[in-house]
């Protein structure tokens, strides 16, 4: 009797209608019943219009993402317990500190807290450095921004791959890192998108909101683009596809994603302000042990956030990729219809009809139900959820 009561209580505390929402280490999290059902995550199921939705009875929207505590604990337990991930993160912080110092922009204690944040948390810092360099030489500023982007791509790419691998219980980081060149290029692209969007939005928002604009843009940027680095690392897709798919993932219903984003931003800002209070506005160019410790602890926090995003991405991956594939197909079909109605010269039509547009990688991935990859040669997930390298499998067959 006691056991049964306890069992019921535990079940109710976990994921509603979908079990606990977490998975044993090394396995992808189970999709919740809401996520796997056809209606789940759909905002278009109710066609009554916004007025009817607003006035009508409230519907409980269940997020397909795992709960906050489960995501954070998995984000902490997987990558946090891995010496390789921690070493990569800590060395990444050291590398960025060295880079900023070389650019004659020694980081303050607050800057060291933000410098390895999940994008776009570090974007204002980078823009500040480039602005100061622009005063000296535009060539130097351009070179520096490219170098900074490349360095960030490499560091974030390494971290995202290792964190995602650790969240999935992978035990061979060296094999996972074979994807680094491709992922680093994607990260560079994502970085460019984030910097561009940040500057563009700041231009408009700052005149209306003043300093609060930066905060708003950070929250929006992390909300809509936070998944992009994880998607690039997990699926090996290029920057554009990673941003698009990450954006789709961020738009899944429920408040769990925005809660995670707000919690992360609030924590990072709080730690940053605390670091400033402890070390002063003008922190010395030679960081003390305490300054390093605070910065490293903040870096661990960034790794946990990345891990939480990776865990959540695994939970919604199939649903998002399927949705993305469907949208892409629709778009292609619409484009095809538009082309059919068009009045292009026959010669050009002939040329274009000869070449069928290349099918995007993620489209291939989503055409399968589960345990598939987004690209050729990528680590694939088997039915047991363990990653497997398709190329090595092929080699064995031969």
Binding residues for other proteins, rule: CB under 8 A, are 3-4, 6-7, 10, 24-25, 73, 76-77, 80-83, 86-87, 90, 94, 101, 106, 132, 135-136, 280, 282-293, 296-297, 300
DSSP assignment of 216-271: HHHHHHHHHHTTHHHHHHHH---HHHHHHHHHHHHTSSSSHHHHHHHHHHHHHHHH
Paired tokens of 285 = 């160019």
DSSP assignment of 355-384: SPPPPPHHHHHHHSSSS--SSTTSEEE-TT
Give me the sign of the Cα torsion angle 389, 392, 397, 398: positive
Question: Closest distance between other proteins and the C-beta of residue 287, in Å?
Answer: 6
Query: Which one, 3 or 39, has the nearer CB to other proteins?
Result: 3
Query: Which one, 225 or 305, has the nearer CB to other proteins?
Result: 305
Question: Closest distance between other proteins and the C-beta of residue 288, in Å?
Answer: 6
Paired tokens of 341 = 């109605």
Backbone angles phi, psi at 379, to 5 degrees: -65, 125
Question: Closest distance between other proteins and the C-beta of residue 106, in Å?
Answer: 7
Stretch (H or E) spanning 310: helix 289-341
Question: Closest distance between other proteins and the C-beta of residue 95, in Å?
Answer: 11
Query: Which one, 48 or 284, has the nearer CB to other proteins?
Result: 284
Query: Which one, 253 or 274, has the nearer CB to other proteins?
Result: 274
Side-chain-side CA neighbours of 96 within 13 Å: the count stands at 32
Question: Closest distance between other proteins and the C-beta of residue 54, in Å?
Answer: 41
Question: Closest distance between other proteins and the C-beta of residue 293, in Å?
Answer: 4
Paired tokens of 102 = 């070389």
Query: Which one, 282 or 382, has the nearer CB to other proteins?
Result: 282
DSSP state of 115: T
Query: Which one, 131 or 351, has the nearer CB to other proteins?
Result: 131
Backbone angles phi, psi at 94, to 5 degrees: -60, -40
Query: Which one, 293 or 333, has the nearer CB to other proteins?
Result: 293
Nearest C-alpha neighbor of 226 from the set 265, 253, 268? 265
Nearest C-alpha neighbor of 159 from the set 53, 301, 24? 301
DSSP assignment of 49-110: HHHHHHHSPPPPPPPSSPPHHHHHHHHHHHHHT-HHHHHHHHHHHHHHHHHHHHTT-PPPHH
Query: Which one, 10 or 331, has the nearer CB to other proteins?
Result: 10
What is the CA 320 to chain-centroid distance, rounded? 13
Query: Which one, 11 or 255, has the nearer CB to other proteins?
Result: 11
Question: Closest distance between other proteins and the C-beta of residue 275, in Å?
Answer: 13
Nearest C-alpha neighbor of 132 from the set 141, 122, 123, 124? 141
Query: Which one, 120 or 301, has the nearer CB to other proteins?
Result: 301
Question: Closest distance between other proteins and the C-beta of residue 393, in Å?
Answer: 30
Question: Closest distance between other proteins and the C-beta of residue 42, in Å?
Answer: 32
Backbone angles phi, psi at 131, to 5 degrees: -60, -40
Beta bridge pairs of residue 170:
none
Question: Closest distance between other proteins and the C-beta of residue 11, in Å?
Answer: 8
């Amino acid at each position: 009797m006691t056991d049964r009561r306890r069992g019921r209580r535990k079940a109710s505390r976990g994921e509603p209608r979908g079990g606990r929402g977490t998975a044993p280490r090394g396995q992808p999290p189970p999709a919740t019943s809401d996520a796997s059902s056809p209606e789940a995550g759909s905002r278009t199921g109710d066609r009554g219009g916004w007025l009817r939705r607003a006035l009508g009875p409230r519907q409980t929207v269940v997020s397909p993402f795992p709960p906050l505590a489960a995501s954070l604990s998995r984000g902490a337990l997987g990558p946090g317990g891995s010496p390789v991930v921690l070493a990569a993160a800590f060395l990444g912080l050291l590398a960025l500190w060295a880079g900023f110092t070389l650019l004659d922009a020694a980081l303050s204690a607050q800057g060291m807290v933000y410098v390895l944040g999940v994008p776009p948390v570090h974007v204002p810092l980078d823009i500040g450095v480039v602005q100061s360099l622009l005063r000296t030489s535009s060539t130097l500023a351009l070179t520096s921004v490219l170098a900074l982007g490349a360095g960030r791509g490499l560091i974030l790419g390494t971290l995202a791959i290792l964190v995602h691998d650790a969240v999935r219980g992978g035990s061979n980081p060296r094999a996972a890192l074979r994807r680094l060149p491709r992922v680093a290029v994607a990260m560079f692209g994502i970085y460019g998108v984030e910097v561009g969007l940040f500057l563009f939005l700041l231009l408009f928002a700052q005149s209306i909101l003043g300093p609060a604009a930066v905060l708003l843009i950070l929250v929006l940027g992390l909300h809509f683009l936070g998944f992009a680095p994880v998607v690039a690392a997990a699926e090996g897709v290029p920057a554009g596809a990673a941003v698009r798919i990450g954006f789709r993932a961020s738009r899944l219903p429920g408040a769990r994603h925005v809660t995670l984003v707000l919690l992360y931003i609030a924590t990072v800002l709080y730690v940053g302000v605390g670091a400033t209070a402890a070390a002063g506005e003008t922190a010395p160019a030679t960081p003390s042990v305490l300054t390093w410790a605070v910065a490293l602890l903040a870096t661990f926090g960034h790794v946990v956030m990345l891990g939480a995003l990776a865990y959540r991405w695994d939970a919604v991956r199939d649903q998002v990729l399927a949705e993305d594939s469907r949208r892409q197909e629709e778009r292609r079909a619409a484009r095809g219809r538009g082309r059919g109605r068009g009045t292009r010269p026959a010669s050009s039509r002939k040329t274009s009809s000869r070449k069928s547009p290349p099918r995007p990688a993620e489209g291939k991935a989503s055409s399968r139900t589960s345990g598939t990859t987004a690209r050729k040669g990528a680590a694939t997930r088997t039915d047991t959820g363990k990653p497997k390298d398709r190329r090595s499998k092929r080699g064995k067959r031969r």
